[in-house]
Amino acid sequence: MRHDFSTATNLLDVLKSLLEKFGSIDGVHEKAGSPEHLEELLAEFRGIGPAGVNIFLRELRGVWSKADPEPSKLAVETARRLRVKRIKEVESQLVRLNLEYCKRKACSTCPMSQACSKKLS
C-alpha cells in the first residue's frame, strides 16, 4: 500500500473516532479542562504523536483558547537566530523559514537573511 493511502486511511480513522467520542472537532476543545488536558485528549488517538499534536495545536493557537503548545525546537532555534522573543505569536512562520531556508542553507535567498545572527551557508 502506498504511504499516501495509509496516511489518508489513518486520518479518516482518527476523524471517525473523534466524531464518535466528542461529536465534533470543537467537542475535543470543549471537553478539555486545560491546554495540557487538550494535548492529552488529542494524543489518545492512534497514530497521533507529540509532534502531530503540537503541529495541530500550533495552527489553532488564537482560535481555540486552550491551544497553547510549547513552541517546537525548530521555532525556538530559528527565533534564537533572528532574536525573536515572542515565539508563540509567529511560530508557524518561524518553522516555515527554518524548513524553507535554514534547513537548505539558503541564506542568500532568505527574506530574513539581514536579521539572522547565524547564517548557515
Using H for helix, E for strand and C for coil, what is the string for 20-75?
Answer: HHHCCHHHHHHHCCCHHHHHHHHHCCCCCCHHHHHHHHHHHECCECCCCCCCCHHH
Which of the 8 DSSP states describes residue 115?
A: G
Q: What percentage of the chain carries pLDDT values higher than 90?
A: 83
Give this prediction's pTM.
Answer: 0.79
Query: Residue 121 pLDDT more than 50?
Result: no
More confident residue, 111 or 10: 111
What is residue 3's three-state secondary structure? helix
- For the segment 66-101, what is each residue's pLDDT rounded down to a tens digit? 999 999 999 999 999 999 999 999 999 999 999 999
